[in-house]
Amino acid sequence: MNPEKSKKELPGTDFDLEEFLPYLLNQAAEATSLSFQTIYAEKYGMTRTQWRVLANLGKFGSMMAKDICRISHVEKSKVSRAIAALESAGFLRREVKADDRRAEGLHLTPSGLDAFRKLGKKALEYDRELRGRLGPAEAKRLVVALRDLARLQSR
């Protein structure tokens, strides 16, 4: 019988984008990011990087720019510009350290803390929705796999 594949394909490689893990990861990341993005973008005028910086400050309290870089694996110029934007939006305050005047301590303002709380609440709801879609067991397995893959280089 030797049935042909229904899709027309050129010879020379078996490669299929739809089976390529980096591509599938990207598609899932994009899809899950988009609906949450509308919340921080439309209601708070934030970019994804700004939201990440806010989330780190919300979680850890006060920290320096380089800490955010290390923890969130975001490139330093992105962090620097996100900090500047969050500051001029009134979400964040900087404070030059007395003992080392190269470094700045970053803190959320009351307005920034409020934004973090509201966005954090929405994020938790959304995350529960996603995990509910997968089921709790699959969601846990997914998290383990993603953490493993993310360990690949960390930039």
Partner DNA sequence: TAAGATTGAGTACTCAATCTTG
Partner DNA sequence: CAAGATTGAGTACTCAATCTTA
Q: Which residues bind a second copy (CB under 8 A)?
A: 7-10, 12-17, 19-36, 52, 55-56, 58-61, 72-73, 108, 113, 116-117, 119-121, 123-124, 126-127, 130-131, 133-134, 138-139, 141-143, 145-155
* Closer by beta carbon to a second copy, 84 or else 145: 145
* Residue numbers 21-50 binding DNA by CB under 7 A: 47-49
C-alpha dihedral, 27 to 47 to 84 to 62, nearest 10°: -70
Q: Are 105 and 94 in contact (CB under 8 A)?
A: yes
Q: In the bound complex, what is the minimum distance in angstroms from residue 52's beta carbon to a second copy? A: 7
Q: For residues 109 and 151, give the distance between their C-alpha atoms in angstroms, rounded to a whole number.
A: 33
Residue whose pair of structure tokens reads 């964040």 in the numeric block: 92
With binding defined as CB under 7 A, does residue 72 bind DNA? no
**Across 8-152, where does the E strand assignment appear?**
92-96, 104-108
Binding mask 89-108 for DNA (x = CB under 7 A): -----x-----xxxxx----
Q: For residues 35 and 57, give the distance between their C-alpha atoms in angstroms, rounded to a whole number.
A: 23
By the criterion CB under 7 A, which residues form the site for DNA?
47-49, 64-67, 75-84, 94, 100-104
